[in-house]
Amino acid sequence: MKYRTLGETGLEVSILGFGAASLGEVYGKRDPKEGEAAVQAAIDGGVNYFDVAPLYGFTLAEERLGLALKDRRHEVYLATKCCRDKFGEFDFSAKRVTESIDESLKRLRTDYLDVYQIHDVEFGTNDQIVYETFEAARKVQNSGKARFVGITGFPVRYLRKVAEQVKPDTIMSWGHYTLIEDEMATELEDVVKKQEIGLLNASPLLQGLLTDYSPPEWHRAPQPVLDMVPRIAKLCREKYGVNLAQVALRYTLDCDLSASTVVSMSTPSKVERNLAALDFEMPEGLLDSIFELTKPVKNMMWYEGRDENNIPPSDPDQYVPTNPESTHSDD
């Protein structure tokens, strides 16, 4: 396992992070014992960054992660989120920030968090996020209940805007650094380097899309992207003899800009496969072939959150607007 420093926090985090959404059965029913075994296997494999949220399984993921970590809390860095407890419901008030930390600490069976994050800032107004929500998070930090505070979200240009206003300790960007997307790097590099913010990359498989399997029915990627993925998988499999998911994960792990790449792991076998990506050697010419194939869909994404927070790219054709209400996890 390799480790990188998370911004100015001083935390040396594993480049492969444990996303705990699956422990909350976000992607279907899971055996709790398998989930607990996955946590143990990940720690044994050198993973020390664990990310969860009250939203995942509507507190179930926090409960199960807290139970799994009860004897090993001191071996990991633990992050959770606030302000989004149910799909379609958001509460960015200072009161909710203050209440949520105590609720999460109880479920996670700990008396402090390493990172406390405002979940999906694009669903709040900029004034509230900057002048109420984030200030409340800093007060939580000053209380000692969280060592560091951060923001998470989908629209990278809005994450940059908020970061320039509040200077969070961390930013978690999801879905914007993958085999078909690089805007996490192009849009956030300047601000994270200038302010020495710790950057985390979530959803390297783009919510299960960049695999050899069919994407979830609810996946919101534009149709050209959905049509392209089987072609990428075929290229990997037939020309280079490798698995698309392993290629996709290896590619994101090599991004030095992000301290850790967070991916869901629900069973020991999935932990083992993800750990194997650390030693995976990319076949010569494969990435060039993938990038040439995927040029027509490069950075073609969708919208999340409030309209005013979806700051358009220089080329508006990169984005395909859809229903701005997301109903699924970012891990």
pLDDT-derived band at 327 (thresholds 50, 70, 90) equals very low
The structure's pTM equals 0.94
295 burial (CB, 10 Å; 0-12 / 13-18 / 19+) is: exposed
As a whole number of angstroms, the distance between CA 50 and CA 39 comes to: 9
Write out the two tokens for 294. 């995927």
Q: Which pLDDT belongs to residue 190?
A: 97
Q: Which pLDDT belongs to residue 44?
A: 98
Q: Which pLDDT belongs to residue 24?
A: 85
What are the tens digits of pLDDT across the range 262-283? 999 989 999 999 999 999 999 9
Q: At what angle do helices 32-44 and 60-68 cross, to 10 degrees?
A: 50
What are the tens digits of pLDDT across the range 17-29? 999 998 987 667 7
Which residues, including other chains, have CB under 8 Å from residue 44's CB and lie 6 or more apart? none
Q: Which pLDDT belongs to residue 321?
A: 52
Kindly report the CATH number that applies to the domain delimited by 3-318: 3.20.20.100
* Mean pLDDT value of segment 299-327: 73
Q: How many CB atoms lie within 10 A of CB 231?
A: 12
pLDDT-derived band at 149 (thresholds 50, 70, 90) equals very high
The residue annotated as part of the active site, out of 3, 27, 56, 177, is: 56
Instruction: Look up 56 and say whether it is catalytic.
Output: yes
Q: Which pLDDT belongs to residue 236?
A: 98
What are the tens digits of pLDDT across the range 48-88? 999 999 999 999 999 999 999 999 999 999 999 999 999 88
